[in-house]
Amino acid sequence: MTRPSAMPSTCAGAPISPSMIAEEALALVEAFAARDMEEMTFRATMLLTYARDTGQMSLAVASIAFLEEVLDGGTAQHMSNAFEHVIAAAAAIVEATIAQAPAHV
């Protein structure tokens, strides 16, 4: 399998919304809970692609670290820690977007 740092963008030119990042993060949570390594790899790769395309470096770094743990068969603790970082980075993006949105009355 190709290492994450060598994976090209698959969404060139397509607008990526925070809701897309949230959806992928939720799908990653489901895959992590099911211990579905293939699905975790796919979802983390999608998050990495979105992060690169939107310039969200904290999510990109967290996604790469998580993918390395998954692909290298890291310990459960290391994988869990890396997973938490991905989810936290994705949540921070969504939170920042919500904070910037105008209040609806």
pLDDT tens digit sequence for 8-63: 444 455 688 889 999 999 999 999 999 999 999 999 999 999 999 999 999 999 99
Q: How far is CA 60 from CA 12, 45, 49, 104, in A?
A: 16, 9, 8, 32
Contact 28, 40 (CB under 8 A): yes
pTM: 0.81
Question: Would you say residue 104 lies in a domain?
Answer: no
Question: Would you say residue 59 lies in a domain?
Answer: yes
Question: Would you say residue 8 lies in a domain?
Answer: no
Domain with 91, as residue range(s), is 17-99
Question: Would you say residue 48 lies in a domain?
Answer: yes
Question: Would you say residue 2 lies in a domain?
Answer: no
Q: 101 pLDDT exceeds 90?
A: no
Q: How many domains does the chain have?
A: 1
